[in-house]
Structure 1
Protein backbone atom coordinates (compact mmCIF):
# COMPACT_ATOMS: atom_id res chain seq x y z
CA UNK A 1 0.00 0.00 0.00
CA UNK A 2 1.28 3.46 -0.90
CA UNK A 3 2.42 5.82 1.84
CA UNK A 4 0.07 8.64 2.74
CA UNK A 5 1.03 12.11 1.64
CA UNK A 6 1.85 14.60 4.37
CA UNK A 7 -0.70 17.34 5.04
CA UNK A 8 -0.22 20.28 2.71
CA UNK A 9 -2.02 23.34 1.47
CA UNK A 10 -3.43 22.58 -1.97
CA UNK A 11 -2.74 24.80 -4.97
CA UNK A 12 -5.84 26.86 -5.65
CA UNK A 13 -7.09 28.00 -9.03
CA UNK A 14 -5.78 31.57 -8.63
CA UNK A 15 -2.47 30.39 -7.20
CA UNK A 16 -2.03 27.98 -10.13
CA UNK A 17 -2.66 30.79 -12.60
CA UNK A 18 -0.15 32.98 -10.75
CA UNK A 19 2.45 30.19 -10.92
CA UNK A 20 1.71 29.75 -14.63
CA UNK A 21 2.44 33.43 -15.33
CA UNK A 22 5.38 33.65 -12.92
CA UNK A 23 7.17 30.53 -14.15
CA UNK A 24 6.18 30.73 -17.83
CA UNK A 25 8.98 29.17 -19.82
CA UNK A 26 10.03 26.78 -17.03
CA UNK A 27 9.08 23.47 -18.67
CA UNK A 28 9.14 21.52 -15.38
CA UNK A 29 6.77 23.90 -13.58
CA UNK A 30 4.49 24.18 -16.60
CA UNK A 31 4.33 20.39 -16.86
CA UNK A 32 3.53 20.05 -13.15
CA UNK A 33 0.73 22.63 -13.36
CA UNK A 34 -0.70 20.92 -16.43
CA UNK A 35 -0.56 17.60 -14.56
CA UNK A 36 -2.59 19.12 -11.70
CA UNK A 37 -5.16 20.52 -14.15
CA UNK A 38 -5.39 17.20 -16.01
CA UNK A 39 -5.83 15.24 -12.76
CA UNK A 40 -8.66 17.55 -11.74
CA UNK A 41 -10.37 17.06 -15.10
CA UNK A 42 -10.06 13.28 -14.76
CA UNK A 43 -11.59 13.42 -11.27
CA UNK A 44 -14.55 15.30 -12.77
CA UNK A 45 -14.96 12.68 -15.49
CA UNK A 46 -14.78 9.85 -12.95
CA UNK A 47 -17.46 11.64 -10.93
CA UNK A 48 -19.69 11.88 -13.99
CA UNK A 49 -19.27 8.16 -14.73
CA UNK A 50 -19.93 7.33 -11.10
CA UNK A 51 -23.19 9.30 -11.18
CA UNK A 52 -24.37 7.26 -14.18
CA UNK A 53 -23.36 3.97 -12.57
CA UNK A 54 -24.94 4.87 -9.24
CA UNK A 55 -28.20 5.91 -10.90
CA UNK A 56 -28.53 2.55 -12.67
CA UNK A 57 -27.53 0.68 -9.50
CA UNK A 58 -30.29 2.41 -7.52
CA UNK A 59 -32.89 2.03 -10.31
CA UNK A 60 -32.20 -1.70 -10.46
CA UNK A 61 -32.60 -1.88 -6.65
CA UNK A 62 -29.32 -3.76 -6.28
CA UNK A 63 -28.79 -2.73 -2.66
CA UNK A 64 -25.86 -0.83 -1.28
CA UNK A 65 -22.45 -1.76 -2.56
CA UNK A 66 -19.67 -0.78 -0.14
CA UNK A 67 -17.17 -0.03 -2.93
CA UNK A 68 -19.63 2.34 -4.62
CA UNK A 69 -20.27 4.10 -1.33
CA UNK A 70 -16.54 4.56 -0.68
CA UNK A 71 -16.05 5.92 -4.21
CA UNK A 72 -18.99 8.29 -3.67
CA UNK A 73 -17.43 9.61 -0.47
CA UNK A 74 -14.04 10.12 -2.14
CA UNK A 75 -15.64 11.95 -5.06
CA UNK A 76 -17.66 14.17 -2.71
CA UNK A 77 -14.49 15.03 -0.80
CA UNK A 78 -12.67 15.95 -4.01
CA UNK A 79 -15.62 17.99 -5.30
CA UNK A 80 -15.79 19.94 -2.05
CA UNK A 81 -12.02 20.48 -2.16
CA UNK A 82 -12.31 21.81 -5.72
CA UNK A 83 -15.07 24.24 -4.73
CA UNK A 84 -12.97 25.54 -1.84
CA UNK A 85 -9.92 25.93 -4.10
CA UNK A 86 -12.04 27.81 -6.63
CA UNK A 87 -13.42 30.06 -3.89
CA UNK A 88 -16.99 28.81 -4.34
CA UNK A 89 -19.47 28.31 -1.53
CA UNK A 90 -20.61 24.71 -1.01
CA UNK A 91 -23.98 23.75 -2.50
CA UNK A 92 -26.98 24.05 -0.17
CA UNK A 93 -28.26 20.99 1.66
CA UNK A 94 -31.55 19.50 0.58
CA UNK A 95 -34.41 21.80 1.51
CA UNK A 96 -32.21 24.86 2.08
CA UNK A 97 -32.45 27.92 -0.19
CA UNK A 98 -29.63 28.44 -2.67
CA UNK A 99 -28.00 31.71 -1.57
CA UNK A 100 -24.62 31.16 -3.25
CA UNK A 101 -25.36 33.96 -5.69
CA UNK A 102 -26.03 37.40 -4.33
CA UNK A 103 -28.63 39.64 -5.93
CA UNK A 104 -26.10 41.24 -8.29
CA UNK A 105 -24.06 38.11 -9.03
CA UNK A 106 -24.59 35.93 -12.10
CA UNK A 107 -25.72 32.34 -11.68
CA UNK A 108 -22.87 29.89 -11.14
CA UNK A 109 -22.92 26.35 -12.39
CA UNK A 110 -22.16 23.74 -9.74
CA UNK A 111 -20.81 20.46 -11.00
CA UNK A 112 -20.82 17.37 -8.88
Structure 2
Protein backbone atom coordinates (compact mmCIF):
# COMPACT_ATOMS: atom_id res chain seq x y z
CA UNK A 1 0.00 0.00 0.00
CA UNK A 2 1.31 3.45 -0.90
CA UNK A 3 0.84 6.77 0.83
CA UNK A 4 1.28 10.28 -0.46
CA UNK A 5 4.32 12.22 0.77
CA UNK A 6 3.90 15.67 2.22
CA UNK A 7 5.36 16.93 -1.06
CA UNK A 8 2.85 14.91 -3.13
CA UNK A 9 5.15 12.05 -4.15
CA UNK A 10 3.72 8.56 -3.66
CA UNK A 11 5.84 6.09 -1.64
CA UNK A 12 5.59 2.95 0.52
CA UNK A 13 4.14 3.50 4.03
CA UNK A 14 7.33 2.53 5.87
CA UNK A 15 8.94 5.82 4.93
CA UNK A 16 6.55 8.06 6.90
CA UNK A 17 9.19 8.87 9.51
CA UNK A 18 11.76 9.74 6.86
CA UNK A 19 9.17 11.92 5.11
CA UNK A 20 8.51 13.74 8.38
CA UNK A 21 12.20 14.51 8.95
CA UNK A 22 12.67 15.56 5.35
CA UNK A 23 9.73 17.97 5.62
CA UNK A 24 11.02 19.39 8.91
CA UNK A 25 14.45 19.97 7.35
CA UNK A 26 12.87 21.80 4.42
CA UNK A 27 10.78 24.02 6.69
CA UNK A 28 13.81 25.06 8.70
CA UNK A 29 15.76 26.25 5.67
CA UNK A 30 12.90 27.30 3.40
CA UNK A 31 13.62 29.92 0.78
CA UNK A 32 10.91 32.27 -0.43
CA UNK A 33 9.06 31.05 -3.51
CA UNK A 34 10.64 32.25 -6.73
CA UNK A 35 10.72 31.39 -10.41
CA UNK A 36 14.10 29.91 -11.36
CA UNK A 37 15.89 31.63 -14.24
CA UNK A 38 15.41 30.06 -17.64
CA UNK A 39 18.26 29.14 -19.93
CA UNK A 40 17.37 32.09 -22.18
CA UNK A 41 17.33 34.54 -19.23
CA UNK A 42 20.72 33.30 -18.09
CA UNK A 43 22.16 33.68 -21.61
CA UNK A 44 20.87 37.30 -21.72
CA UNK A 45 22.49 38.02 -18.34
CA UNK A 46 25.74 36.44 -19.56
CA UNK A 47 25.82 38.74 -22.60
CA UNK A 48 24.89 41.82 -20.54
CA UNK A 49 27.80 41.51 -18.08
CA UNK A 50 31.56 41.64 -18.41
CA UNK A 51 33.57 38.41 -18.53
CA UNK A 52 34.86 37.50 -15.07
CA UNK A 53 32.14 39.48 -13.31
CA UNK A 54 30.31 38.22 -10.22
CA UNK A 55 27.23 37.70 -12.41
CA UNK A 56 29.22 35.37 -14.69
CA UNK A 57 30.44 33.42 -11.65
CA UNK A 58 26.89 33.08 -10.31
CA UNK A 59 25.60 31.92 -13.69
CA UNK A 60 28.38 29.35 -13.95
CA UNK A 61 27.49 28.11 -10.47
CA UNK A 62 23.82 27.72 -11.44
CA UNK A 63 24.73 25.75 -14.58
CA UNK A 64 27.19 23.63 -12.60
CA UNK A 65 24.59 22.76 -9.95
CA UNK A 66 22.01 21.88 -12.60
CA UNK A 67 24.54 19.53 -14.22
CA UNK A 68 25.28 17.98 -10.81
CA UNK A 69 21.54 17.33 -10.33
CA UNK A 70 21.47 15.38 -13.60
CA UNK A 71 24.56 13.41 -12.56
CA UNK A 72 23.12 12.62 -9.13
CA UNK A 73 19.92 11.34 -10.72
CA UNK A 74 21.96 8.99 -12.93
CA UNK A 75 23.83 7.67 -9.88
CA UNK A 76 20.55 7.24 -7.98
CA UNK A 77 19.13 5.22 -10.86
CA UNK A 78 22.20 2.96 -10.93
CA UNK A 79 22.01 2.34 -7.16
CA UNK A 80 18.26 1.71 -7.39
CA UNK A 81 18.71 -0.87 -10.17
CA UNK A 82 21.48 -2.67 -8.26
CA UNK A 83 19.43 -2.69 -5.05
CA UNK A 84 16.34 -4.08 -6.81
CA UNK A 85 18.40 -6.80 -8.52
CA UNK A 86 20.10 -7.81 -5.28
CA UNK A 87 17.23 -7.53 -2.79
CA UNK A 88 14.09 -7.39 -4.96
CA UNK A 89 12.80 -4.37 -3.08
CA UNK A 90 12.91 -0.64 -2.73
CA UNK A 91 15.32 1.35 -0.57
CA UNK A 92 13.37 4.08 1.23
CA UNK A 93 16.12 6.68 1.16
CA UNK A 94 16.49 6.30 -2.60
CA UNK A 95 12.75 6.72 -3.08
CA UNK A 96 12.80 9.95 -1.08
CA UNK A 97 15.85 11.09 -3.06
CA UNK A 98 14.05 10.26 -6.32
CA UNK A 99 11.08 12.38 -5.30
CA UNK A 100 13.28 15.29 -4.24
CA UNK A 101 15.29 15.19 -7.47
CA UNK A 102 12.08 15.02 -9.49
CA UNK A 103 10.76 18.11 -7.67
CA UNK A 104 13.89 20.02 -8.59
CA UNK A 105 13.82 18.92 -12.23
CA UNK A 106 10.18 20.03 -12.48
CA UNK A 107 10.97 23.34 -10.76
CA UNK A 108 13.88 23.98 -13.11
CA UNK A 109 11.99 22.84 -16.19
CA UNK A 110 14.51 20.06 -16.95
CA UNK A 111 12.24 17.07 -16.32
CA UNK A 112 12.74 15.54 -19.76
CA UNK A 113 16.54 15.79 -19.79
Shift of 1:25: 3.3
Structure 1 segments, 4+ long, off by >6 Å, are none
Alignment gaps of 5+ in structure 2: 1-24
Q: TM-score w.r.t. structure 2 length? A: 0.67
Aligned to 1:18: 44
How many angstroms does 1:65 deviate by? 2.0
1:36-73 alpha-carbon deviations (Å, 9 max, x no partner): 00000111110111110011111113522221111010
1:52 and 2:78 are equivalent in the alignment: yes
How many residues align? The count is 87
Structure 1: 5+ residue runs without aligned partners? 91-109
1:38 aligns with 2:42: no
**More helix, by proportion:** 2
Q: CA deviation at 1:5?
A: 0.8
